[in-house]
Amino acid sequence: NAGVTQTPKFRILKIGQSMTLQCAQDMNHNYMYWYRQDPGMGLKLIYYSVGAGITDKGEVPNGYNVSRSTTEDFPLRLELAAPSQTSVYFCASSYGTSGSGVDEQFFGPGTRLTVL
């Protein structure tokens, strides 16, 4: 299993440009999440999904959009990049709940985005 994969690893955008951060998982997890990690701030939830076709906002959704057309993929779209979106972005997935209770999240390696 590849686990959770993210592309690209690095990207530099100019203000106003758009891009899509790709995330895929091959563990058949229902739940998927997008976080951003800023220095000293921990992880902030941007959007999450509990299954194909179902998404919901997290703490910091402004400036982002998501879609979940398949169980495997959960892309994050930035429409008009701003310097405040400079961050490291992590995608994560989990079963949600299983016979053992609440399940842990599996994280991708991250995408480091700089907006200039």
Partner 1 sequence: AQSVAQPEDQVNVAEGNPLTVKCTYSVSGNPYLFWYVQYPNRGLQFLLKYITGDNLVKGSYGFEAEFNKSQTSFHLKKPSALVSDSALYFCAVRPFTSGTYKYIFGTGTRLKVLA
Binding map of partner 1 across residues 47-86, x = CB under 8 A, - = no contact: -x-x-------x----------------------------
Element (H, E) at 37: strand 31-37
Contact with partner 1 (CB under 8 A) among 78, 87, 110, 115? 110
Which among 70, 66, 58, 78 is positioned nearest to 26, based on CA atoms? 70
Considering the complex, state which of residue 14 and residue 99 has its C-beta at the smaller distance from partner 1.
Answer: 99
d(CA 104, CA 102): 7
Considering the complex, state which of residue 5 and residue 17 has its C-beta at the smaller distance from partner 1.
Answer: 5
Provide the β-strand partners of residue 91.
34
Burial of 54 (C-beta count, 10 Å sphere; 0-12/13-18/19+): exposed
Shortest distance, position 71 Cβ to partner 1, whole Å: 15
Interface with partner 1 (CB under 8 A): 4, 31, 33, 35, 40-43, 45, 48, 50, 58, 90, 92, 96, 100-102, 104-110
